[in-house]
Structure 1
Amino acid sequence: MQDTPKLTKYWDEKSGRMSLILKNGERPLRGIVVEDQYPAAISGILCFAKSGGVAPVATASGGKILWKVANLAPGELKELVYTSLIRDALEGYAPKKPTPADAALLSSTASLPPKLTGDVETPAKAEERPALKPPEEPAKKAAPARHAVVVAVGAGKGGTGKTTFSINLGVALAELGNDTILMDADASMSNLSTYLGMDPNGMKATLHEVLAGEAEPEKATYRIFNDHLRVVPSGLSIEGFLKMDRSLLRDVIEYFSQEADYIVIDTPAGYNRELALSLAASDHLILVLNPDEGSMTDGLKVQEMARILDVNVMGIVLNRYDMKNPYFSRSQVEAHFGTPVIAMLPDEPEVRRKDKVPSVLAAPSGLMAAEIYHVAQKISGQKPPACSPSFVSRLMLALFNTASL
């Protein structure tokens, strides 16, 4: 029986990367630190986790790399990878491989064995410690982990109002008292934080850093408008986008799902790999369309991708719908997609993102808010609240408006 984790190391000549394979033993580990060395003359070390779980946090400086790996299950594998890239490579102007000189330096350290340091505590060892409470007092059982319902909001083309709807849906679910996470998975063209008026310079971390293994997921969450709502924005820098490992998105969503009731994902527009990764981690898809030919043609492709990935297509939201002179009727849209229209949002420019405040808060008694709450009710089974926002939302809204002056 292998009780302790095992570390192996190899140099990938073709890709110019060093890989550390960490295999856990037969007992779960709460936390462990993997340490490795690299030539200090190299700058621009890039670390990431290639597979399994939420990305470990890595730091590299002065010739030493430290990986903090949490919550290893029995027999679980982690592949920790690092390489050296010059800034031009990160910005897309050079091949994403180390220079021949850096590659030679890195490969020279392949024979130096990595080591395990830090806390290697197992739950079994923790139980051997003296109890903090009197023996006669029974220990409280931990609350069972939740598993969030994950709703992807998609569109076949940009400009349909997908992000605006995602924000309003997240706020509506939070107003109903649900712990909700609103995530910007449009990592290449992210704008959710901009729509919310968040200062990118004031964000300590974003989804980019989480997917690059440079930040823990909690560091990239921000409460806004409601104490039940947390936002996970994507970054705005090209460098951050190029460093992230998109394949870890599902693991990050799974991590957040343990502590939330609902996750609303603002997915990338179009028909691409990033959308597929978002859908693969989702339970439901809501399509946001404009009632025009281009939006409907491209939206049909997104719906087909969802069905291929066995994701439930909950319904269609028709945005900017002209109630008096529609280009397509509701019944025509439903017949074309074979999917019900669950909301019809009128064009109300006076309340759309008014002062960067979502419509469900800026105009809670309006038709748009009513339609959005109808979707939230369909997801959660909960009836909409009274027209006015909750007390906490009003308080946070007042602080938000004050800070915007």
Structure 2
Amino acid sequence: MQDMPTLTKYWDEKRGRMSVILRNGERPLRGIVVEDEYPGAISGILCFAKSGGIAPVATASNGKIIWKVANLAPGELKELVYTSLTRDALEGYAPKKPTAADAALLASMASRTPRLAGDQPAEAPEKAEEKPAPMPVKAPVEKAAKRAVVIAVGAGKGGTGKTTFSINLGVALAEMGRRTILMDADASMSNLSTYMGIEPHTLKTTLHEVLAGEAEPDKAVYKAFNDNLRVVPSGLSIEGFLKMDRSLLKDVIEYFSRDADFIVIDTPAGYNKELALSLAASDHLILVLNPDEGSMTDGLKVQEMARILDVNILGIVLNRYDMKNPFFSRSQVEAHFGSPVIAMLPEEPGVRRKDKVPSVLAAPSSRMAAEVYHVAELLAGQKAPSESTSFVSRLMLALFNTAAI
């Protein structure tokens, strides 16, 4: 393998786009800049990275495209792509190919050699690993000063109330004035958007398209309930699911982390690769369990995966807990997991409302809301504000404040 990275450029006639293959050599690099030219006469330019996620930040102006690549591991390959698309094509109403005239102009640039600049050896210890394990975060408020604190909400099996808790936690953090991203990482069985009253067919862009390299991350962000809350839903189509590159999830989370205080990830239930990818990008795990043997057994596997990945176990949320006649007591659960129970949510009517308004907004005086806010306070390091807005006002805001950005 060569020591320096190489660039290979080719014209993809079938798709009507130019590809620049960036392949690294034997040493890790950082701060890579790749420059290429495009014909200024074309109607527009769209540049992105097919592989490598969102880490390559692409800009195009005055006939020049610049990709900025933060890091390259030894032997890593990234495909940098650009094409010309009309507005109709971008919105999905036409085939995603440039016009014949634009395609001819783009093809004429195949002989122009792209330029590589800014490659610097990455500083590393004498025996550095390509993918060092993330360090655990014990103090969320300190981490938030640098970037978003990332919280994975997990469960060993479906039906524990994981998604409902994730939504309420995200809303509670937003209500406390924290900029919060709520992400549906359950890409195969996504339902977070429907739980929030967002109709899936209205979503032009989701996490599916971002992980497939077909859309910029900001296109998959939607506003809901509070100006501090943003939602990144997953799609429902099988086609979109099959096109995803799940390994890019960490890049997407890091991208959103630059402009948020907290990212709450509704992870896939179970013990699988998708869960591992979510945990690997997270600082903390909150485990949502029901006090029954199946939930306890499967939940222990999720906790063990988090510990292997060096993710801090923030605690356990016991959902649908029978306060008078529990199957397992709080102390038994804590002894079994070796982790604290940080919330106990009783089985309350109306938690899943027909109007899709989360309990922390619809029933702020409920036990559910109080317990969720307790967890939010642990994360934010602050007390939740007293209710200064009437219930009717908050409910009206929630009902009419869900929209695409």
Shorter-chain TM-score above 0.5: yes
Aligned to 2:371: 371
Q: What is the deviation of 1:51?
A: 2.9
Looking at structure 2, the residues matched to 271 and 34 of structure 1 have their Cα atoms a distance apart, in angstroms, of 46
Aligned to 1:397: 398
The question of whether the paired residues in 1 share the 8 Å contact of 2:289 and 2:317 is answered with yes
Aligned to 1:268: 268
Aligned to 2:79: 80
Aligned to 1:343: 343
The aligned runs of 1:233-272 (5 Å cut-off) are 233-272=233-272
Q: What is the deviation of 1:9?
A: 5.3
Aligned to 1:319: 319
The question of whether the paired residues in 2 share the 8 Å contact of 1:146 and 1:257 is answered with no
The question of whether the paired residues in 2 share the 8 Å contact of 1:224 and 1:396 is answered with no
Instruction: Flag the 1:70–1:8 CA change in 2: closer, same or farther, 3 A.
Output: closer
Instruction: Flag the 1:53–1:383 CA change in 2: closer, same or farther, 3 A.
Output: same
Q: What is the deviation of 1:145?
A: 8.9
The question of whether the paired residues in 2 share the 8 Å contact of 1:285 and 1:313 is answered with yes
Q: What is the deviation of 1:393?
A: 5.2
| One-letter amino acid of the structure 1 residue matched with residue 22 of structure 2 | I
Instruction: Flag the 1:389–1:302 CA change in 2: closer, same or farther, 3 A.
Output: farther
Q: What is the deviation of 1:387?
A: 3.6
Instruction: Flag the 1:353–1:312 CA change in 2: closer, same or farther, 3 A.
Output: farther
User: Given the two structures, how large is their TM-score scaled by the length of structure 1?
Assistant: 0.70
The question of whether the paired residues in 2 share the 8 Å contact of 1:48 and 1:212 is answered with no
Structure 2's unaligned 5+ residue stretches are 11-18, 39-47, 82-106, 119-143
The aligned runs of 1:176-255 (5 Å cut-off) are 176-255=176-255
Aligned to 1:152: 152
Deviation by residue 1:307-361 (Cα, 9 ceiling, x = unmatched): 0000000100000001111111111101110111000001112233451011100
Looking at structure 1, the residues matched to 112 and 273 of structure 2 have their Cα atoms a distance apart, in angstroms, of 34
The question of whether the paired residues in 2 share the 8 Å contact of 1:351 and 1:362 is answered with no
Looking at structure 2, the residues matched to 113 and 348 of structure 1 have their Cα atoms a distance apart, in angstroms, of 67
Aligned to 1:71: 68
Deviation by residue 1:194-241 (Cα, 9 ceiling, x = unmatched): 111112222221101110111111100011100000000001100000
| One-letter amino acid of the structure 1 residue matched with residue 159 of structure 2 | G
Aligned to 1:94: none
Instruction: Flag the 1:55–1:224 CA change in 2: closer, same or farther, 3 A.
Output: farther
Instruction: Flag the 1:68–1:262 CA change in 2: closer, same or farther, 3 A.
Output: farther
Q: What is the deviation of 1:54?
A: 3.3
| One-letter amino acid of the structure 2 residue matched with residue 290 of structure 1 | N
Instruction: Flag the 1:332–1:324 CA change in 2: closer, same or farther, 3 A.
Output: same
The aligned runs of 1:110-129 (5 Å cut-off) are 115-116=113-114
| One-letter amino acid of the structure 2 residue matched with residue 162 of structure 1 | K
Deviation by residue 1:118-173 (Cα, 9 ceiling, x = unmatched): xx999xxxxxxxxxxxxxxxxxxxxx994100000000000000000000000000
Aligned to 1:103: none
Instruction: Flag the 1:228–1:344 CA change in 2: closer, same or farther, 3 A.
Output: same
Instruction: Flag the 1:291–1:74 CA change in 2: closer, same or farther, 3 A.
Output: closer
The question of whether the paired residues in 1 share the 8 Å contact of 2:223 and 2:401 is answered with no
User: Given the two structures, how large is their TM-score scaled by the length of structure 2?
Assistant: 0.70
SS at match of 2:378: helix
Aligned to 1:334: 334
Looking at structure 2, the residues matched to 381 and 193 of structure 1 have their Cα atoms a distance apart, in angstroms, of 28
Instruction: Flag the 1:333–1:7 CA change in 2: closer, same or farther, 3 A.
Output: same
Instruction: Flag the 1:197–1:81 CA change in 2: closer, same or farther, 3 A.
Output: same
Aligned to 2:102: none
Looking at structure 2, the residues matched to 6 and 342 of structure 1 have their Cα atoms a distance apart, in angstroms, of 51
Looking at structure 1, the residues matched to 381 and 30 of structure 2 have their Cα atoms a distance apart, in angstroms, of 42
The question of whether the paired residues in 1 share the 8 Å contact of 2:55 and 2:69 is answered with no
The question of whether the paired residues in 1 share the 8 Å contact of 2:7 and 2:20 is answered with no
1:49 matched to 2:50: yes
Number of positions where the alignment pairs a residue of Structure 1 with one of Structure 2: 323
Instruction: Flag the 1:33–1:377 CA change in 2: closer, same or farther, 3 A.
Output: farther
Aligned to 2:134: none
